[in-house]
Structure 1
Amino acid sequence: MQIGHHLRRPQLALLRRCALALLAWAPASFAASTERAATMHEYASEKGKVVVTELATGLERPWAMAFLPDDKGILITEKPGTLRLWQEDAGLSPPITGVPEVYTRSQGGLLDIALAPDFAKSRRVYLSYAEAGDNGRAGTTVGYGMLSPDQSRLDDFKVIFRQMPKLSTGVHFGSRLIFDRQGYLFIALGENNQRATSQDLDKLQGKLVRLHPDGRVPDDNPFVGIQGARPEIWSYGHRNQQGGALNPWTGDVWTHEHGPRGGDEINIPKAGKNYGWPLATHGINYSGGAIPEALGTTAQGTEPPLYYWEVSPAISGMAFYDAARYPAWDRSLFIGALKDQSLIRLTLDGNTITAEERLLGERNERIRDVRVGPDGEVYVLTDEADGKLLRLGLR
């Protein structure tokens, strides 16, 4: 039965006016939900349909994200030097003030973000970024500020770490920030494209660094008290680390790094160990030919990678999936790919990677960061001038 057949025209007109008024009155969350529905897409995968919802667009080269507790939103860094807040009912905020000045040449800019383990009490937000030096070169710097109660500014920003010496002309800054279960802060660094420095223990290029949250050096770091070595160093022989995460099942810090042309790799860095660059690599020069310093794919006294790619996807971002929401993704490791323009899903059996799947390649978007949200969904940032925040589910 059609209602319109039993109503006169004035009554139909009144119903239309009421419907329009109801839509105009509808809360922002309803408007947001209808907009999200219009930007939802599905893609095939080995585990079912991956449902992708575009939560935000118009980000400028977004680099990293961190989830505020109690569903208060997601903090997002943009490489040109801005920090934004995305909230479900409000969208993207204006830039948050109090962010330090950053060096923005080439790969430089505002990079990673992490909340202090005691954020609910301290309100500390940690940032890594490229910082200019007096010699016209730059290095990676880390500091923290306190997020204001209204989430509009960082107060009292304090630098706790500087990569020294500053050697970068705009490339290979890294970097990722990882807190372990004991509350130590790990900083994954690049070697500024100064290859030999990765092996130099008196420099902080190509190193994984371990610090107390206030920047102090732990007494049990492996090079404390060794002449000619920086006490901040945890491991060395890394190239350009752009992914890092804490394994939720073992408590180990995992990092990954770009190789040159080929040789992207994943490591589980151990105290005092040498991970090979540039002495051991599965990559070659971008122009072709072997890396001059390389002794082969292995070298005595160095650790082999846990996993590597002969052809570089140009990996960035890393997240372990341990949520209950999508059992089909359990024991997966998600990694973004810039050059390959995909989201890589690796299947884990303990510390062994048993399978690899590429997702979202149909979108042709560089993926810079990936995180698992407190809701069990997977969140992704695309590295574009018109960057996006995406939410991924499975059905």
Structure 2
Amino acid sequence: MRKNLGILVMLTAIIAVCMSFNVGKKQPLVKDAATNYKTYCAGCHGEKMDMFVDRNWKHGNKKEDLFKAIKSGYADEGMPSFGESMTDQEINALADYILTGIKNVGKYTSNDRPKSDIFKAEAMTIKLELVAEGLDVPWGIAFLPGNEILATDRSGKLYRVKNKSLQAISGAPQVLARGQGGLMDVILDPDFASSNMIYLSYSKFKNEGGATLATTAIMKAKLTGNALTEQKDIFVAEPYSRTQHHYGSRMQFGKDGYLYFSVGERGNEKENPQQIKGNDLGKVHRIKKDGSIPADNPFVNTPGAEASIFSYGHRNPQGMTIHPVTGKIWTNEHGPRGGDEINIEEPGKNYGWPIITYGINYNGKPISNLTAKEGMVQPLHYWIPSIGPSGLAFVTGNRYKGWEGNLLSGSLRFQFLQRSVLKGNKVVKEEILFKNIGRVRDVRMAPDGYIYIAVESPGRVYKLVPQS
């Protein structure tokens, strides 16, 4: 069972006070290193040792450096001393335990670049076949008839990829291409064959009081040749914000025919994610194709609530897909430093941000002492350290033997594709694929049965081709 960090911090304080009455007396060795780490260290440094991939070792990371830091502390920097709380033997064991944890993070931190387009995975060998290049940040990809691809570039450009060449499409919305904003996701209408309608998410902006404000918007448009027409914003998130990050923006049509999409909390976690009245930020929304609201949305009859909200308490979901069997909407989202999540979206549910989280703040301080609370949904899975997930897809079909039903997530931070093996709704195994290939922004299953990934700077789209 996951431990409540608040209890651990409180326990630390109690133990420290109790032991202060026994200064000068040798304390018996009563706890192993793992227990001492959870008791004394986890409250600030995270409950999992993989958090040390984020650690800047200002005073050194050799055993003698760790021993000194644990025993004597650095009071001016917020590091307490534990010389009176633990024996030298316990401190030595704890230092060894931390050193083991440092070694374990090597799987994330190697800087070796791929030397070939052939990669050996556990179940098969994969070739990354180049489909498109010449983009900067390909944020989203969608598949047109005739083996063509639509690709957004965060700069604001929309392209048709045909025979590995980029053809610019006119009529894309004007975007605020700053920070994490720009032209983001793209998907086709389920009836595209007859309607030619597509949907784009983007950072819409306005000038107000001398400041530039931005928000997440969803545009519907008709694709005719290499031009968009009949453009219409069917959703504009409120309120606008001065910040230039955490837009969310992933979209997915459900089996019910409705459009689901994410809106990030725009960096204001104190107000936006938990507020459902007059606030669209930090939410997953559900609307009809024309922007109107389904009658069975969970907050339709809640006075003052935004009727488009499907779920809330989110930070920045940048991956969204549909389960091929259950039809449930799955998301992945960015935590802070640690605590990235995979979630199954349920109507009206609160996913907890920032009241509960498995991450800590970027300055190393806890965001919340709680990892669970009644009435708030636990993540199906969480990552420590943060991988920076973006893009999400289930493996379907029979091209990828041994991967059937697996879940794929792009990693922006560590520049790989993450394969998660599921047993029911539990991740039981993970594999890192294509390490250091570049920031993997999107991953999709195409109608041709192949997996495609979009990689940033240089912006490229690859097709994953199993080798015999």
Q: How high is the TM-score relative to the length of structure 2?
A: 0.73
RMSD: 1.3
Picking from 229, 232, 235, the partner of 2:311 is 235
Residue of 206, 217, 223 corresponding to 1:147: 223
How far residue 362 of structure 1 moved from its aligned partner, in angstroms, is 4.6
Q: Percent of pairs identical after alignment?
A: 42
* Aligned pairs, number: 348
Cα distance in structure 2, aligned partners of 1:198 and 1:350: 28
One-letter amino acid matched to 2:173 = P
2:176 is aligned with 1:106? no
CA-CA distance at 1:299 after TM superposition: 2.1
The aligned amino acid for 1:353 is V
* Superposed counterparts of 1:211-222, under 5 Å: 211-222=287-298
Deviation sequence 1:130-160 (CA, Å, 0-9, x none): 0113432211000111110xx2101111110
Residue 228 of structure 1 and its aligned partner are, at CA, apart by 2.2
Q: Deviations over 1:165-213 (max 9, x none)?
A: 1124100001101101111000111000010210001200100000001
- Is 1:186 paired with 2:260? yes
Look up the equivalent residue of 1:46 and give its one-letter code: E
Q: 2:123–2:401: 8 Å Cα contact kept in structure 1?
A: no
Residue of structure 2 equivalent to 1:282? 358
Distance 1:233 1:295 in 2: 27
Kept in 2, the 8 Å contact 1:113–1:177? The answer is yes
Moved over 4 A (4+): none
1:214 partner SS: coil
1-side partners of 2:357 and 2:203: how far apart?
Answer: 26
**Matching residue within 80, 90, 95 for 2:168:** 95
Which of 214, 218, 225 is the matching residue for 1:138? 214
Give the superposition deviation at 1:62: 0.8
- Per-residue CA shift, 1:315-347, capped at 9, x if unaligned? 000011111222222111111000011000111
What is the deviation of 1:225? Answer: 2.1
Report how far residue 295 of structure 1 moved: 4.1
The counterpart of 2:403, out of the listed 329, 335, 351, is: 329
- Distance in 1 of aligned mates of 2:433 and 2:299: 41
Does structure 1 residue 175 correspond to structure 2 residue 249?
Answer: yes
Answer with 190-199 or 126-135: which moved more.
126-135
* 1:204 corresponding residue in structure 2: 280
Within 5 Å, give how 1:27-106 maps onto structure 2. 41-69=117-145, 71-88=146-163, 91-106=164-179
Alpha carbons of structure 1 residues 347 and 78: separation in structure 2 relative to 1, 3 Å:
same
Q: Could you list the runs of 5+ residues in structure 2 that have no partner in the other structure?
A: 1-114
What is the CA–CA distance in structure 2 between the aligned matches of 1:371 and 1:289, rounded to whole Å?
Answer: 36
AA partner of residue 49 (structure 1): T
Once the two structures are TM-superposed, the CA of residue 75 in structure 1 deviates from its matched residue by 0.2
1:40 to partner: Cα distance: 7.1
Matched, 1:119 2:192: yes
Amino acid at match of 1:268: I
Structure 2 SS opposite 1:327:
coil
Check whether the contact 1:167–1:194 (CA below 8 A) recurs between aligned residues. no
Long gaps (5+) in structure 1: 1-38
Q: Classify 1:40/1:361 alpha carbon distance in 2 versus 1 (closer, same or farther; 3 Å).
A: closer
